[in-house]
Structure 1
Amino acid sequence: MRIRLAAALSAVTLTTGTLLGAPPATAQTSAYPTSAFDVTLGNTYTRGTITWYNRSVTVTGEHKSVDPASCRGTTAFTLDSAGNELDKQYSLYNVCGKSDTISMPVVNANVPGGAAFVRICLDDGATSAPVTYLLCKRYGRP
């Protein structure tokens, strides 16, 4: 009887020690998917990262203009799965003969699953309409 009791007590002690020494369980956080983008035309470009949220995207990166007389900007469009435009965001700061960072939330993608595509355009940096798009590329949600 004592042998069985000692064996049972040892098993409980080992199990308790194992559980107490185990690292705490941590919840896994899921990161939002991202895509790299690069729209280059000659020596000018806009490039960076698209972050895909549930009902919006954010476009961050850099745009560059080499010539001070030729300003450049970035425009980002969200599109649904059929290619219909959901929202458009212009860069708030255009560059002329230099480079600068961009961070543009494109928030109106209020469709199930969010935006399916983002179209990024390097534009002429016009401060009033119409803006001329020099080169655009489309990127799909990963």
Structure 2
Amino acid sequence: MKTHFAAALGSVVLTAGTLLGAPAAGAQTDASLPTTFNVPVGNTWTKGTVTWFARSVEVVGTHKSVSAAGDAYCRRTWAYTYDSHDNKIGSAGSASSDTACGNTKSYRFTVPADVYGGATFVRVCLDDGNYKDLLCSPRLQR
């Protein structure tokens, strides 16, 4: 009888240890595979990747402007994170120093998604130099 009890107790302890040591469902501590995007507007564009983290996303890429005739012709990239109920939870954009005016510039920025499970989807937008969204990507899903 003691052998069966010890075996059963050992099995319960092993199962509990496995469950307690496992991350919670939906929790993500490491980056997931990047999602690519391409948002063209005429001869200008923004393209790159979104990498998903537990409570943020990283946006990395390049954007192109064909004219330096003023802010309306410059290009920036902006992104928005959303939760599973389509509520916007964060936004951020490329730095002013990364603004493309008659050239192509690279950018890298992080967008907050500070809710349990992080962002459900992201939209990446090509903006002009006045921060006006010209065109946004369809939903980029995790």
Q: TM-score, normalised by structure 2?
A: 0.71
Q: Which runs of 5+ in 1 are unaligned?
A: 1-29
Question: Which residue is equivalent to 1:120?
Answer: 124
Instruction: Give how far 1:98 is off.
Output: 0.2
84, 90, 100: which one aligns with 1:95: 100
Instruction: Give how far 1:68 is off.
Output: 1.6
Instruction: Give how far 1:136 is off.
Output: 0.6
- Distance (Å, rounded) in 2 between the aligned partners of 1:138 and 1:109: 18
Provide Cα deviations, 1:45-88, integer angstroms capped at 9, x if missing partner: 00001000111100001010011221111111111112111111
Alpha carbons of structure 1 residues 102 and 125: separation in structure 2 relative to 1, 3 Å: same
Question: Which residue is equivalent to 2:40?
Answer: 40
Instruction: Give how far 1:40 is off.
Output: 0.5
Look at both structures and tell me which one has the larger radius of gyration over its CA atoms: 1
More helix by share: 2
Secondary structure (helix, strand or coil) at the match of 2:35 reads strand
- Distance (Å, rounded) in 1 between the aligned partners of 2:32 and 2:93: 23
Corresponding pairs, count: 108
RMSD over equivalenced CA pairs, Å: 1.4
Q: Which amino acid aligns with 2:100?
A: V
Question: Which residue is equivalent to 1:141?
Answer: 141
Secondary structure (helix, strand or coil) at the match of 2:54 reads coil
Counterparts in 2 of 1:1-142, with a 5 A limit?
Answer: 32-69=32-69, 70-92=73-95, 93-106=98-111, 108-126=112-130, 131-142=131-142
- Distance (Å, rounded) in 2 between the aligned partners of 1:121 and 1:85: 14
Provide Cα deviations, 1:80-107, integer angstroms capped at 9, x if missing partner: 112111111021021100001010111x
Contact 2:126 2:133 in 1 (8 A): yes
Contact 1:80 1:115 in 2 (8 A): yes
Query: Quick one: percent identity of the two aligned structures?
Result: 45
